[in-house]
């Protein structure tokens, strides 16, 4: 079913590697993204095709396990990646405000009752953020964020406590809670040296670790644990010659060989072109694709960039 295409939900990561997550006629599917793999597809566009399709909604079972449902009407997205009806039905949307409101379904409360982690992540230009991950997404959350270096600084008994920690850190210390995807991509065109990124992350993690250790909040303990990114991400994370992918992913035909992937961003080679190209596969989220024998048209002027 994956061979034909479908609606792209994004690039997801598991310990075995990244995958393109899709909704197909047969249900949800994952297309593994492997080193050296050629990814060839056409993006559906034109009259009557929304800029982005609704990705559906998530309900959380009483066990705390999230379950995805496709948009019943298959219509365009109205806010973010959802139509109004799916946004209203999405039980995960209350997650980030639960520690203040206490509102949520029984399933969401079960999800948030599990152990959570507070981390400090640093990206290719040295920008550093604070974030949280549940026990089951402890590793994959950072992989999907596209972090170069990260450290866990606290382990909390539940999702409410860890979000109070996150708010305290972002309010009183430099780390932000959000880094835009466009900024991550721009930074990877000219990434800082690995030692600089490592030292930046270590210094900020030490500051945050010491800060939260003094907070009068119960239900957590400080930790010192480094996150390890996938070897498949090393080439894109390391400084080297690369240029931005020459076409927009909102339409057209594309073909690329995947050499390395960090988060949703790939370092790729193209048919008949020299050099490496940086491609943000996250731009496919919410778009319908068809797989086939397609290739990217590279402008002649691209050669002058190498």
184: containing domain: 116-229
Whether residue 152 is contained in a domain is answered as yes
Residue 196: inside a domain, yes or no?
yes
Residue 137 lies in a domain: yes
- Confidence at residue 109, expressed as pLDDT on a 0 to 100 scale: 80
Decide if 289 is inside a domain. Answer: no
> How high is the mean pLDDT in each 10-residue block of the chain (306 residues)?
84 96 93 97 90 94 89 92 95 74 73 93 98 96 98 96 96 97 97 97 98 97 98 97 96 98 98 96 97 92 50
CA distance 20 to 10: 6
- pLDDT at position 304 is 47
| Phi-psi sector, 109: left (phi>0), alpha (psi -120 to 50), beta | alpha
Helix (H) or strand (E) holding 129: strand 128-134
Cα separation, 121 vs 129, whole angstroms:
5
Q: Which among 142, 84, 102 is positioned nearest to 118, based on CA atoms?
A: 142
Phi, psi of 35 (to 5 degrees): -60, 130
Other Cβ atoms less than 10 A from the Cβ of 303: the count is 11
Total structural domains in the chain?
A: 1
Is there a domain that residue 135 lies in?
yes
- Per-residue confidence (pLDDT) for residue 18, from 0 to 100: 98
Q: Which among 133, 210, 137, 202 has a CA at the least distance from the CA of 166? A: 133
Tell me how far apart the alpha carbons of residues 9 and 23 are, in angstroms, rounded to a whole number: 7
The pTM score is 0.92
* Within a domain: 138: yes
Residue 18 covered by a domain:
no
Q: Report if residue 189 sits inside a domain.
A: yes
């Amino acid at each position: 079913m994956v061979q034909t295409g479908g609606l792209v939900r994004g690039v997801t990561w598991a310990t075995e590697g990244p995958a393109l997550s899709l909704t197909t006629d047969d249900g949800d599917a994952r297309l593994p993204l492997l080193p050296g793999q050629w990814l060839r597809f056409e993006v559906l566009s034109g009259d009557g095709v929304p800029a982005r399709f609704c990705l559906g909604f998530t309900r959380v079972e009483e066990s705390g396990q999230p379950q995805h449902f496709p948009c019943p009407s298959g219509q365009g997205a109205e806010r973010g990646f959802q139509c109004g009806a799916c946004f209203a039905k999405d039980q995960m949307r209350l997650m980030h405000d639960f520690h203040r409101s206490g509102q949520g379904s029984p399933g969401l409360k079960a999800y948030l009752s599990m152990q959570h982690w507070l981390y400090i992540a640093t990206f290719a230009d040295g920008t550093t953020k604070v974030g949280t991950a549940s026990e089951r997404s402890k590793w994959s959350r950072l992989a999907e964020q596209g972090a170069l270096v990260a450290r866990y600084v606290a382990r909390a008994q539940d999702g409410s406590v860890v979000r109070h920690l996150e708010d305290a850190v972002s309010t009183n210390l430099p780390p932000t809670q959000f880094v835009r995807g466009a900024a991550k991509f721009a930074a990877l065109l000219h990434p800082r040296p690995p030692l600089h990124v490592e030292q930046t992350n270590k210094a900020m993690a030490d500051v945050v670790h010491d800060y939260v250790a003094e907070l009068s909040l119960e239900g957590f303990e400080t930790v010192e644990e480094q996150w390890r990114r996938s070897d498949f991400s090393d080439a894109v994370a390391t400084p080297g010659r690369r240029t931005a992918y020459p076409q927009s992913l909102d339409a057209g035909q594309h073909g690329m060989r995947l050499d390395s992937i960090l988060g949703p961003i790939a370092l790729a080679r193209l048919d008949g072109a020299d050099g490496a190209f940086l491609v943000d596969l996250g731009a496919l989220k919410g778009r319908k694709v068809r797989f086939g024998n397609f290739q990217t048209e590279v402008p002649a002027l691209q050669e002058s960039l190498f």
